[in-house]
Amino acid sequence: MVRTGAFNYINVLQTGLDASWTRNSVIANNIANADTPGYKRKDVQFEDYLMNEIGFTDSLDDEVAGADLDALTATTYTEYDDVSYRIDGNNVDIDTESAELAKNQIRYYTMLDSVTQEFSRLKSVVKTAG
C-alpha cells in the first residue's frame, strides 16, 4: 500500500479486493467440500469492518483519508457450525455457494474497475501537470 493522500481510495479498494479474493477462495473450498461429511460452511467477514471505518459522516473523502487500513482485514469464520442440512453433518448448499460466488465475482470486477478509474484519474492529473 502506498501511504499518501493521492492513493487513499486505491488503498481502501485494495483491501476490498483482498477480501473479495479471500472470499473467492473460501467459497471454492466450501464447494470442494460440499460432499465432505461433517464439513461446516465458512465465510468471510469484511463489510462490517469497512462500515466501521467508512460511512458515518457526510464526507466520504474524509472517511477514506482517515481509514485505518490495518483494521480492514478480512477474517474467515465458520458459519452456523451447529446447523446441518444433511444427516452427515454438512451444512453446505451448493446453490447458495454458486450464487455467492457469482455475487463475489461481480463485486471483485467492480472494485477492479474502480481501481482502474482511479489510476486513470491520477494519470490525467500527472499528464496535465507535466
Q: What gap in Å lies between CA 38 and CA 73, rounded to an integer?
A: 28
Residue 77's beta-bridge partner residues? 43
Residue 57 sits in which domain range?
5-122
- Cell digits for 30? 466450501
CB 111 within 8 A of CB 17: yes
Per the domain annotation, does 127 fall within a domain?
no
Q: What average pLDDT does the structure give for the chain? A: 85
pLDDT given at position 56: 66
Residue 90 lies in a domain: yes
Burial of 114: CB neighbours in 10 Å, binned 0-12, 13-18, 19+:
middle
Q: What is the pLDDT of residue 20?
A: 96
Q: Is residue 83 part of a domain?
A: yes
pLDDT on residue 104: 96
In-domain check, residue 129: no
Number of H helices, E strands in the chain: 4, 2
Q: What percent of the chain has pLDDT over 70?
A: 85
**Within-domain flag for 31:** yes
Look at the chain and report how many structural domains it folds into.
1
pTM of the predicted protein model = 0.81
Q: For 55-111, what is each residue's pLDDT tens digit?
A: 666 666 666 666 777 778 899 999 877 878 789 999 999 999 999 999 999 999 999
